[in-house]
Structure 1
Amino acid sequence: MLSEVLLVSAPGKVILHGEHAVVHGKVALAVALNLRTFLRLEPHSNGKVDLSLPNIGIKRAWDVAGLQSLDTSFLEQGDVTTPTPEQVEKLKDVAGLPDDCAVTERLAVLAFLYLYLSICRKQRALPSLDIIVWSELPPGAGLGSSAAYSVCLAAALLTVCEEIPNPLKDGDCVNRWTREDLELINKWAFQGERVIHGNPSGVDNAVSTWGGALRYHQGKISSLKSKQESITSCVPDDAALGRRNGEMKLGSPALQILLTNTKVPRNTRALVAGVRNRLLKFPEIVAPLLTSIDAISLECERVLGEMGEAPAPEQYLVLEELIDMNQHHLNALGVGHASLDQLCQVTRARGLHSKLTGAGGGGCGITLLKPGLEQPEVEATKQALTSCGFDCLETSIGAPGVSIHSATSLDSRVQQALDGL
């Protein structure tokens, strides 16, 4: 087992196009968001495994000897195991959480224990570890925070247990694993997501693992720039994942955006059901809307695939038109919200184009920032959105996937995150 401190990070995600239509067999485009979750793992010899999640107020510790003595035969043998409801129930006893523990906290702890016990049980003795995970991603906002958490855990635990090698070389500030190692990270992260969400699509953990931009269509995930190159089928039999090493770029450079959180809670399940009901009630109206959203995704995919080092202004004009059309379609599907309308109005008044991202009904929206936009204009827009009661961040999409950072040569961003704990 490795003895050095490990620092790992993984990005969140946004849906660029294809929300709701993807449920009905259409294409969705998912992109890595340059807001990241960070994990610091330090091996020690105090006989405990400590987990701290300051973003959601969790600090838990377990005696390694107690965990070692548990009957973990319920964790089936195999390279990558799929959690069953019965296994998750047994993990609740292991976790020792109070009855009034919030759902978010409970699921985060259960996902950790599942990955820790499953990945580390091949060791002669379960390792004593101190793990702290913190994030730039707001939880529950549809930005893939749980997937980034699972990806960070899987990458760090696999590395410390030497199931995969540490890719950092002398002098590296940051590096990434090989394609094969990323495949294994993604497989295990998918199991962590299953503990948390039950039956996830696999999109969020794939984007967080591979980075860049991915296309999702009827259970298949592929690189945005190569439709034929499969990344993962994300089916329950855990078919082979990954065919590319390193970051999957969204075009060059990455697109700059404003990410706005309206802070309006939404019920994803109810919104999905609402679209389905509207389709059943008005099939000749709603089915063409879904087909049109699919065409928007495909056109966006084409444009992004053609963008080079110096994107042409007309390419951004097309992207803006697609954003506007998709937002109108989503409103017609019934998943808009007054807060999202307000977001679009505020940005439109400044010549910018916005749409919801994710389930809608509140939640988050993205605003495309064209090259050459003066920073005072960006700051004025952010201030206007903040004045509406929203949270607004300037960031980018097309970020690199899960990465490992040098503990002795931290970049300013990781150091800033550590200092903020």
Structure 2
Amino acid sequence: MRVQECIISAPGKAILHGEHAVVHGKVALAVSLNLRTYLKLKATHTGKVCINLPNIDTFLCWDAAELKEIIPFSCGQHEEVKRLDTERVKRLREFVGVANGNLDASDMATLAFLYIYLALFGSGELPSLTLSVWSELPTGAGLGSSAAYSVCLAAALLCASGAMPAPLKEGDHTARWCQEDLELINSWAFQGEMVIHGNPSGVDNAVGTWGGMLRFLAGTIIPLSRVPLLRILLTNTKVPRSTKVLVAKVKDKINKFPTILTSVLESVDAVSCTCEKVLFEMTCEPITGEHYNVLEELIDINQHLLNIMGVGHPALDTLCRVTLARGLHSKLTGAGGGGCGITLLRPETDSVVIQSTIQDLKDCDFDCWETSIGGPGVQVHSPFSVKENILEILNRY
């Protein structure tokens, strides 16, 4: 292998504005979360291919020769990443033992790894390696955990296969790839997401690749090069929901009240566009309290509009009420119906207020993190730049 060892990370994602409206041709703003997935790849000489995913209790090893027999015609052509190889996916599902069954998190992660690994190395001798992953992101919460995993997989395996260089130079703590290499990472990460989800939008893996903020409209994803870093509270209500069911619910309401809901969708679109304008202004001029006042008002407006669409939930109402009692403004992020919400933190918000709010939300049986949005996308790290507790976990395997 071209790379003997590397540590890669990629961020999760949240939707700032535009949930559900984006399905109907309106603008959505997706942002990176400073909650990241970390992957360590290490070449070995054991003849084994091992994957360790302690977050989901998955620890698997195969003989490289055994994997080679699954798909003897794996092409390993790096440039052919536009179309999913459904025959390879079928064979891998049979190999993993889920040919016709539903996939759990372990199955999906395993299939995505094997698919990319065999696609990139299948034309030659399969290298033995150990791949360990640890994530700060909860799974199944709509925060892009699978995409962050796929982005890390793609970046690590592309470097190991020699399809692109590892950009970390001696003395660097972190480094990023050039635009051309990021596009290659994103293409392969999207393959991983298709293996996992079937028909993803491509937003999650794009956020994981480029970071910052992306504008999504009618299938076109545009990374916004200049966005401010904003502090937030991220809250998981732990109320399960089905994105598919909620999307269908909004569609039914549009069909029932087309005139009313069309206006609602237009209003959500206006919120997204206004927010984008304000955030751009915050990168071009001194940030003022008025900027944050507008961002807070937009959060409140969008939350009300999402409730009109029917994707709110009593748990999300509780989140908004609890944070507003502390002078903070919140909205759901993602599909709604439970799931997660974000709360904007102003620069002057006192740490005592923040910690008290977090405790209030935990008292509601919610999970809550203080984090930020708008940070960097996929990166390669020196061991010195990785959080000590995460490095300890990655080095354990």
Structure 2 length-normalised TM = 0.95
Contact 2:78 2:120 in 1 (8 A): no
Give the unaligned 5+ runs of structure 1.
Answer: 225-247
**Quick check: 1:367 aligned with 2:340?**
no
Contact 2:108 2:195 in 1 (8 A): yes
Q: Which residue of 1 aligns with 2:385?
A: 411
Which of 289, 295, 299 is 2:270 aligned to?
A: 295
* Per-residue deviation, 1:249: 4.2
Would the alpha carbon gap of residues 167 and 78 (structure 1) be closer, same or farther in structure 2, given more than 3 Å must change? closer
Q: Which residue of 1 aligns with 2:173?
A: 173
Q: Which residue of 2 aligns with 1:250?
A: 227
SS at match of 1:290: helix
Rounded to whole Å, the distance in 2 between the matches of 1:5 and 1:78 is 21
Contact 1:11 1:33 in 2 (8 A): yes
Rounded to whole Å, the distance in 2 between the matches of 1:401 and 1:321 is 28
Rounded to whole Å, the distance in 2 between the matches of 1:292 and 1:340 is 21
Q: Which residue of 2 aligns with 1:263?
A: 238
SS at match of 2:30: strand
Q: Which residue of 2 aligns with 1:107?
A: 108
Q: Which residue of 1 aligns with 2:260?
A: 285
Contact 2:76 2:120 in 1 (8 A): no
Rounded to whole Å, the distance in 2 between the matches of 1:99 and 1:188 is 25
Instruction: Give the RMSD, CA atoms, in angstroms.
Output: 1.8
Q: Please tell me the residue identity of whatever aligns with 2:154.
A: A
Aligned length: 392
Q: Percent identity?
A: 57
Which is helix-richer, 1 or 2? Answer: 2
Rounded to whole Å, the distance in 2 between the matches of 1:99 and 1:295 is 44
Which of 394, 400, 420 is 2:376 aligned to?
A: 400
Q: Please tell me the residue identity of whatever aligns with 2:304.
A: H
SS at match of 2:375: coil
Contact 1:29 1:214 in 2 (8 A): yes
Rounded to whole Å, the distance in 1 between the matches of 2:17 and 2:199 is 22
Q: Which residue of 2 aligns with 1:11?
A: 11
Contact 2:41 2:132 in 1 (8 A): yes
Rounded to whole Å, the distance in 2 between the matches of 1:343 and 1:420 is 33
* Per-residue deviation, 1:196: 0.5
Rounded to whole Å, the distance in 1 between the matches of 2:75 and 2:243 is 31
Q: Please tell me the residue identity of whatever aligns with 1:298.
A: C
Would the alpha carbon gap of residues 286 and 107 (structure 1) be closer, same or farther in structure 2, given more than 3 Å must change? same
Q: Which residue of 1 aligns with 2:302?
A: 326
Q: Which residue of 2 aligns with 1:336?
A: 312
Q: How does 1:128-139 map to 2 (within 5 A)?
A: 128-139=128-139
**Quick check: 1:43 aligned with 2:16?**
no
Which of 339, 354, 357 is 1:378 aligned to?
A: 354
Contact 1:80 1:187 in 2 (8 A): no
Rounded to whole Å, the distance in 2 between the matches of 1:101 and 1:286 is 35
Q: Which residue of 1 aligns with 2:29?
A: 29
Would the alpha carbon gap of residues 208 and 3 (structure 1) be closer, same or farther in structure 2, given more than 3 Å must change? closer
Rounded to whole Å, the distance in 1 between the matches of 2:195 and 2:166 is 26
* Per-residue deviation, 1:277: 0.2
* Per-residue deviation, 1:87: 3.0
Rounded to whole Å, the distance in 1 between the matches of 2:325 and 2:23 is 33
Q: How does 1:54-93 map to 2 (within 5 A)?
A: 54-73=54-73, 79-81=79-81, 82-93=83-94
* Per-residue deviation, 1:74: 6.5
SS at match of 1:87: helix
Contact 1:249 1:398 in 2 (8 A): no
Which of 340, 352, 362 is 2:328 aligned to?
A: 352
Please give the per-residue CA displacement for 1:121-144, whole angstroms capped at 9, x wherever unaligned.
24x311101001110000000000
Give the unaligned 5+ runs of structure 2.
Answer: none
Rounded to whole Å, the distance in 1 between the matches of 2:235 and 2:152 is 25
Please give the per-residue CA displacement for 1:316-369, whole angstroms capped at 9, x wherever unaligned.
000000000000000000000000000000001111000000000000000000
Q: Which residue of 2 aligns with 1:143?
A: 143
Contact 1:337 1:362 in 2 (8 A): yes
Q: Which residue of 2 aligns with 1:213?
A: 213
Please give the per-residue CA displacement for 1:219-257, whole angstroms capped at 9, x wherever unaligned.
001123xxxxxxxxxxxxxxxxxxxxxxx4422xx0000
Q: Please tell me the residue identity of whatever aligns with 1:329.
A: L
* Per-residue deviation, 1:161: 1.1
Q: Please tell me the residue identity of whatever aligns with 2:114.
A: L
Rounded to whole Å, the distance in 2 between the matches of 1:342 and 1:376 is 21
Rounded to whole Å, the distance in 1 between the matches of 2:336 and 2:316 is 8
